[in-house]
Structure 1
Amino acid sequence: MKILNDLTGLFDFRISIQYIKNMIKKVLNFIKENNMLQNGDSVVLGVSGGADSICMLYVLKEISKFINLKLVVVHVHHHIRGKEADGDMEYVRKICDKEHIPYEIFHIDAKKEAIARGMSEEEAGRVCRYECFAKVQEKYNANKISVAHNLNDNSETILFNLFRGTGIKGISGIPMQRDNIVRPLLCVSRKEIEKYLEENHISYRTDKTNFETEYSRNKLRLELIPYIKENINKKAEYNIVNAGKMLGEIEDYLEIETNKTYDEYVDENEEGIFISLKAFEIHPAIAKRIVRKGIEKKAGKLKDVTAAHVESIINLAKLEVSKSVNLPYNIKAIKKYKGILLSDLSDIKIEKIKEIPIIVNNELINENPYNGKFKIDFENNGFSVDDIQELLYTKWIDCDKIGSLTLRNRKEGDYLVVNDFGSKKKLKEYFINEKIPKEDRDKVLLLADGNHIVWIVGYRMSSYYKVNSNTRNIIKIEFYN
């Protein structure tokens, strides 16, 4: 390869094209067009030993001759595949020693991490890998992390997410770069990668699990996509990726519009995230994105939130009555008078308490029980049923129906009335139906009138104690988390 003369700008060089192998030229142009890497960048490479990552290592090593990249390799041993994984590790070590590239090797127990983090082994492995990359980035003061996803990976991801029912963002494909993570091989196919390695007599490791069709993604790669290419369009993967790119541009525009409207229609407070019903009157493309943004703000992630979940909230907003739907990450969407409340009930961490009397013989004897986390007031004469709001941690109760009111945890024989017809349900059955974990049931705060539960704090109150047009004396009870 020959350098003709220096240029200023992103790359301080011009390369004589006829001396550059097709793979190097293609990746180099892709990096330049998308401003992925700068002259002098220090880059952490995630290298498993497979064809993609080994190709990335050698291609970036060649490119580093022209843009002065400083490379460091990271290999993560997941301790899943036994001797095969040991072989992968030794192969990466051997390559790095041969090419004089510094490297770091990490050992993780993916199975244990999956259990500890409540994830699948695959997801836990991915999270741990990126944590390892970040550690090496800090150690070497690197400013970029490079991973080896290719064009085929991108088309598979788009199809996989499409079939799962994700939104536009999910079917936009794998981003070329996000924050400090770059993917320089997204422009090349798996076939091109294997050809490059073969022509340059570079060996690589093969993960046999990639050929096991019991995994959904493997079925896509090994069965569905080959069928589509053979029977419908041999360029299907390129067309899928191009469609994803166009959708990505639409996604960027919609994100800008969503951010403009989110603050107007959404209120974030101690009860959760409240989305005004007015948000559901605007174009559904924006309304649905507002819902997704609200869930992401509450849960911190969206990975398991599908289009069906979002649609369930859109339908919830159309209802006249108060209902709720359960969402991933222990989020509950609750229909309120003027909107939808996204609440995480696990936010309230409460230990078991001793019984605290509040009302005895119609006399309020404790206005601020449980260390002031409750506030109890008698409403003034001018208060009416129309003034009552549907709030998760504030309730208005018909005081005349209360014999005594005690704050406590559950007891044998507890029950509540679940409708206006007086139907009773055991508290135990309610907990089971609401999927409240066994270990948490003894800690749930209850306002009780004997064994009749007036209010399961943070969940619902008994229909028997609800205020109606015949109610004369009303007490307002608020819980502060």
Structure 2
Amino acid sequence: MTDIIKKVEKNILEYNLISAGDKILVGFSGGPDSTALLYSLKKLSRKYDFALAACYINHKIRPRAVKNEIEFCRNTCVKLKAPFSVIEADIPAHADELKISMEEAGHRFRKDALSYMAGELGCNKIALGHHLDDLVETILFRLIRGTGPQGLNPIRPIDNNKIRPLYNISRSEIEQYLQKNKIESVLDRSNLRSKYSRNYIRNKIIPAIERHFGDRYRSSIFNFSRILTEENHFLNALAREETGKIASLTPGGKIVVDLSRFTAYDVWLKRRIIKILLERLSGRRGTGSFEDIDRIMNLPDSRIKALNLTNGINVAADRDLLIFFDRKITIEKSPLNINGITRLKGVDIRIKCSTVGSGKASLKKQKQGRKINIDYSKLILPLYARGIKKGDSFSPLGMTKTKKIGDYLTDKKISRYIRDEIPVLFDQKGVVWLIGHQISNRLKIDESTQKVLTIESIGNETAGIT
């Protein structure tokens, strides 16, 4: 076996990249990196009992070259007896629509496309051709663009179902392997042009570094990245543990943070908690620039109490809460099943209704206001639920005068940023229950009550962030 095969095998064993019975989808462009990846995995597939498939991604950027590349990839896969597929998207149009760079648009599409194809082909893992030089280029790129410690461990040998068997192998080793074994690959000539930032670093900056410092810079940066990875793993575990203590998820998908506890943390921990929450809300790793995180940290002491970030995420400091959200919640009007469970539309809440005799009912609040008992005979059916509307009012339990719901919630110090996900139950006469808070006084149980309607709100307590 050649050295590169030994290194790939060592990586597989050391990082548990592949198990017997795995089916692996290789991202295959026909370039030197992915070609070496496909051949090396094929060489080891029988020994470690795993299967391979390959997928070419057509970005519709280089139409003339793509046809030849697809043909090359198809022929290579026929030779290696690996199933081959092609998936395509108009990346320039996608980038223009999202107002992002073509590099970023291509990166997002590749990630989503490979996950989709893996599912279609029954593959449980995705193998990517990232290597040591990619790691060096990415670290330099992120340092220049701006990043924190978490952004300096960009290429890991395994990341969920994505594996990188070449991650510690240099480009020169890959090229020597292909040359020695007379394995052909294709050259993406766009990589030779320094128009794009990554290409400029690869073609201009790194050669200058190598001329001045020699080729040891790769191992130095690689070791630096490994140290950061290990330390970040520890610090992120601490940050996630603390996040779970102070942050919770609302029924509408907002994230609510206990501001008094948050402000007591050290700066490094605050930054990591905010990063975790921004990534959780956006669903994308890397969300949250240094500037955005800094603005959020300063929000409680600022005259401006709400931020609209560039990625569509909003953050507000209100009373004793820090609230993260990406949209306004709309609770659609839903008729209630008077003897059953109704799932509300717009929030993760179910309403359970059942009737009982008056002797089994209690007037007091139960489960922190999530379960109530009201006089069934005083209702004017049908019942329905919806979100709060401007002008809604009721007479809270114990009061005879009418009070606007907005004023009632203000008196109770309920943040205006989460009021849109508080449902209101109505009958034909008006408000029955402001869920989680108070019933209407007209429906209270008294000595004449014979039949009681029990209503319970299920699943609407805030859930912890994990």
Q: Output the amino acid matched with 1:296.
A: E
Superposed, 1:198-209 pairs within 5 Å as 198-209=179-190
CA change 1:41–1:371 in 2 (3 A) is: closer
Q: Which residue of 2 aligns with 1:42?
A: 23
Q: Which residue of 2 aligns with 1:313?
A: 296
Work out which structure has the larger RCO, using CA pairs closer than 8 Å and 6 or more positions apart in sequence. Answer: 2
Alignment deviations for residues 361-400 of structure 1 (CA, whole Å, 9 cap, x no partner): xxxxxxx9x97534346489xx9x99767633669xxxxx
User: Within 1, Cα distance between the matches of 2:47 and 2:193?
Assistant: 40
User: Within 2, Cα distance between the matches of 1:266 and 1:21?
Assistant: 51
Q: Which residue of 1 aligns with 2:309?
A: 327
Q: 1:207: Cα distance to partner? A: 1.1
User: Within 2, Cα distance between the matches of 1:40 and 1:245?
Assistant: 30
CA change 1:102–1:348 in 2 (3 A) is: same
Q: In the alignment, is residue 112 of structure 1 matched against residue 93 of structure 2? A: yes
Aligned residue for 1:71, secondary structure, equals strand
Q: Which residue of 1 aligns with 2:10?
A: 29
- Of 69, 78, 86 in structure 1, the residue corresponding to residue 67 of structure 2 is 86
Q: Output the amino acid matched with 1:106.
A: I
Q: 1:29: Cα distance to partner? A: 0.8
Superposed, 1:323-472 pairs within 5 Å as 323-345=305-327, 347=329, 372-374=388-390, 375-376=392-393, 378=403, 391-392=416-417
CA change 1:201–1:290 in 2 (3 A) is: same
Q: 1:325: Cα distance to partner? A: 2.8
Contact persistence 2:330–2:387 (CA under 8 A):
no
Q: Which residue of 2 aligns with 1:357?
A: none
Q: 1:226: Cα distance to partner? A: 2.1
Q: In the alignment, is residue 60 of structure 1 matched against residue 41 of structure 2? A: yes
Q: Which residue of 2 aligns with 1:179?
A: 160
Q: In the alignment, is residue 155 of structure 1 matched against residue 136 of structure 2? A: yes
Aligned residue for 1:76, secondary structure, equals strand
Aligned residue for 1:36, secondary structure, equals coil
User: Within 2, Cα distance between the matches of 1:137 and 1:294?
Assistant: 28
CA change 1:182–1:327 in 2 (3 A) is: same
Alignment deviations for residues 256-279 of structure 1 (CA, whole Å, 9 cap, x no partner): 112221132224335932321321
Superposed, 1:209-288 pairs within 5 Å as 209-232=190-213, 234-269=215-250, 270=252, 272-275=254-257, 276-288=259-271
Contact persistence 1:173–1:241 (CA under 8 A):
no
Q: Output the amino acid matched with 2:217.
A: A
Contact persistence 2:2–2:177 (CA under 8 A):
no
Contact persistence 1:305–1:328 (CA under 8 A):
no
- Of 254, 272, 275 in structure 2, the residue corresponding to residue 289 of structure 1 is 272
User: Across the two proteins, how many residue pairs are aligned to each other?
Assistant: 357
Contact persistence 1:27–1:187 (CA under 8 A):
no
Q: Which residue of 1 aligns with 2:103?
A: 122
Q: Which runs of 5+ in 2 are unaligned?
A: 333-383, 394-401, 421-466
Give the structure-1-normalised TM-score: 0.67
Q: Which residue of 2 aligns with 1:460?
A: none
User: Within 2, Cα distance between the matches of 1:223 and 1:126?
Assistant: 22
Contact persistence 1:334–1:341 (CA under 8 A):
yes
Q: Which runs of 5+ in 1 are unaligned?
A: 1-19, 351-367, 396-481
Give the structure-2-normalised TM-score: 0.69
> Which range moves more in the overlay, 188-197 or 40-49?
40-49
Alignment deviations for residues 408-464 of structure 1 (CA, whole Å, 9 cap, x no partner): xxxxxxxxxxxxxxxxxxxxxxxxxxxxxxxxxxxxxxxxxxxxxxxxxxxxxxxxx
Aligned residue for 2:231, secondary structure, equals helix
Contact persistence 1:155–1:173 (CA under 8 A):
no
Q: 1:183: Cα distance to partner? A: 0.6
Contact persistence 1:330–1:346 (CA under 8 A):
no
Aligned residue for 2:87, secondary structure, equals strand
User: Within 1, Cα distance between the matches of 2:288 and 2:299?
Assistant: 16
Aligned-pair identity in percent equals: 28
User: Within 2, Cα distance between the matches of 1:394 and 1:98?
Assistant: 62
CA change 1:333–1:40 in 2 (3 A) is: closer
